[in-house]
Structure 1
Amino acid sequence: MENTVLHKANTRGHANHGWLNAYHSFSFASWYNPERVQFGMLRVLNDDTIAAGMGFGTHPHDNMEIITIPLEGDLAHKDSMGNESTIKTGDVQVMSAGTGIQHSEFNPNADLQTKLFQIWLFPKYKNVTPRYQQITLDVTKQKNNFAQILSPNAEDEGVWIYQDAWFYLADFDKDFSKTYEIKKADNGLYVFVISGIISVNGQELETRDGFGIWNFKNLEFTATTDAKFLLMEIPMNQ
């Protein structure tokens, strides 16, 4: 029997720091909800808007897979591994923090805000050598399709991480339907709607709603309106 959890957009944690307007799907920083600590190995899903010229100063991470997906604008990145780059809309970036890294992230534009998702997954292995990867996606592959942007395999499409997870971005036209089949039997799926309205096995989801489901083999996705959304298939147990 399939299990589900619904996280409506207006139930997320919210912190507006002026320079940073952040919404948290799972407990983060000063927002704590015992019912919303994680979904399987998915620990953080932050929906951040960073004001022009502002950002996060240098700070540490370890033993976490950190994925950044810009939605609007750019993000300048600098880390203790010597990487210095700008992540642009249409890119995806991953850091395996492993034994420990330090990094900073800021909006390099003086007159534009940056919007992004930052996602943290617990890794399959602890204390790996830290690594960094960034690619530019072919967004045309997302049209009426589940376009893979992340997997456990370096040779597959998208970035790779130290976890049995697969991420997809989709951009469906109104009324388009497609079936998703689970990649790994014991995994669950967390769906996050970027824009529009979709239905997942009859469950309606609106913009910025999150929906977790596990103990299933396949799911029917239908776009009620034109819609963009993120699929994250992740282990429910380590």
Structure 2
Amino acid sequence: MQAPSNPLFTDEWRKADEYFSRYLLPTDRALESALENSKQNGLPLIAVSPVQGKFLMSLLKSIRAKRVLEVGLLGGYSTIWLARGLPDDGKVVTLEVNEKFAQVARQNIANADLLSKVEIKVGAAADTLKSLKSSEPFDFAFIDADEEGNPTYFAEAKRLVRKGGVIIVDNVNLRSRVSSLPADTDDSGVKAIRKLLEDIKDDGGKEVDATVLGLAGTKGFDGMLYAVKL
């Protein structure tokens, strides 16, 4: 088979996601409604893909998580997946700087009948994170917000997640820009992710053990950083 001409996005990746989804992800009106409502309200179409959402939900079930921290609520699509991965007494604490996004997300989460599991905090995530207490640790943190804030968000997540807990940072490949752009690039997102990687390297395995998974699918090529709190 001839190699795809564009290494950053191929129709084959989209078809593969759709193929497996037909078997493993049944039609879900609440999730579809969340995407449609977000679109109608002008929110950017940058939520996790369905297969990524299902992965997050499955991961929470596998570690028996009860408390989840989410940085970057957007329209609440990933929040619905996260909340579904928790027991009835579980809680997702989710942070969003944009009041309109938070309002739309609240509608979507309510439509999925999950508001009882979700606490929305509106404000700058860096400030909100500092107000959270490590005496109430989280089992899992999902960071999916502005790349420029990732070093700060990750440092705070380390403080707030329990030992053995998991921290995931989404969109760390940035369509290969992180690894391919020159060292003196002025791309602020790339510089922030490189700073995050340097911070983890400097940690030397004292606080976290981490790796990156490259992901190819309906959203093109990107990846997630997966870290375990030691």
TM over 0.5, shorter chain: no
> Please, what TM-score do these two structures have when normalized by structure 1?
0.32
Bigger share in helix: 2
Higher strand share: 1
Question: Under a length normalisation based on structure 2, what TM-score does the superposition of the two structures give?
Answer: 0.33
